[in-house]
Chains A and B, each alone.
Chain A
Amino acid sequence: NAGVMQNPRHLVRRRGQEARLRCSPMKGHSHVYWYRQLPEEGLKFMVYLQKENIIDESGMPKERFSAEFPKEGPSILRIQQVVRGDSAAYFCASSPRRGTNTEAFFGQGTRLTVV
């Protein structure tokens, strides 16, 4: 049973470009969480999605950031017109259903560098 898969592992973008980060949850998991980790800091919650639904986006910046989790395929975190401050590690976690954060597993993250 493969774990949470994130790709790419490393992504370099120039200022103003778009970044697309993908997260494939564990088999049987239909809930996905995205977190951002700035250098030397803890993880900050961004968004929680269930298949085809955004459940909680209270941690998402108001502009340039969006997330989706379609019926088929991975969850996508999209950052438009990236700026240097977006440089961070982005982690997703998946769980089988709501109320099971004890069963949430994290991926290895995507490290975004904006140059």
Chain B
Amino acid sequence: QQQVKQSPQSLIVQKGGISIINCAYENTAFDYFPWYQQFPGKGPALLIAIRPDVSEKKEGRFTISFNKSAKQFSLHIMDSQPGDSATYFCAASPLGGTDKLIFGTGTRLQVFP
């Protein structure tokens, strides 16, 4: 119940294309869903996050779509660029808990020019 399942494991996209990464969860007590971007040798950096009271959040080229009834959320990267090549992690945090994050297993994105 504490798992967050992420897919695909790896993704190759042409420059200018749309990258889509999906995550699913089971614990309905999760109330915070962030996405992190990690470059090799670096720590994860918060990219964008959403709470379950909204179905979509957009920041620049990055959009989170959230489906509460299906317990799924996804990251869309529009106009993907080679500089977006990194590993992306979805995560979830439970309401009223200690704010610890439960991470997905990651998606390695490669954007080719």
Contact = CB atoms under 8 A, between A and B. Distances in A.
Interface string B43-76: 1111001000000000000000000000000000
Interface string A28-48: 000101010000111111001
B40 to A, nearest CB: 11
Interface residues of B, number: 22
A102 B49 contact: yes
Interface residues of A, number: 27
Interface stretch (B11-19, B77-85, B102-110): B102-110
Interface string A2-38: 0010000000000000000000000000010101000
Contact of A91 (B43, B46, B93, B106): B43
A101 B106 contact: no
B98 A56 contact: yes
A41 B106 contact: yes
A95 interface: yes
A45 B102 contact: yes
Interface in A44-66: 44-45, 48, 55-56, 59
Contacts of A108: 41-43
Contact of B44 (A40, A48, A91, A95): A91
A99 B32 CA distance: 11
Contacts of A33: 99-101
A101 B101 contact: yes
Interface of B: 6, 32, 34, 36, 41-46, 49, 89, 93, 98-106
Interface of A: 4, 31, 33, 35, 40-45, 48, 55-56, 59, 91, 95, 98-102, 104-109
19 contacts: A35-B101, A41-B105, A41-B106, A42-B104, A43-B44, A43-B89, A44-B103, A45-B100, A48-B99, A48-B100, A56-B100, A59-B100, A91-B44, A95-B99, A100-B99, A101-B93, A102-B46, A105-B46, A109-B43
The 6 closest A-B CB pairs, nearest first, are: A106-B43, A42-B103, A101-B99, A56-B98, A45-B100, A43-B103
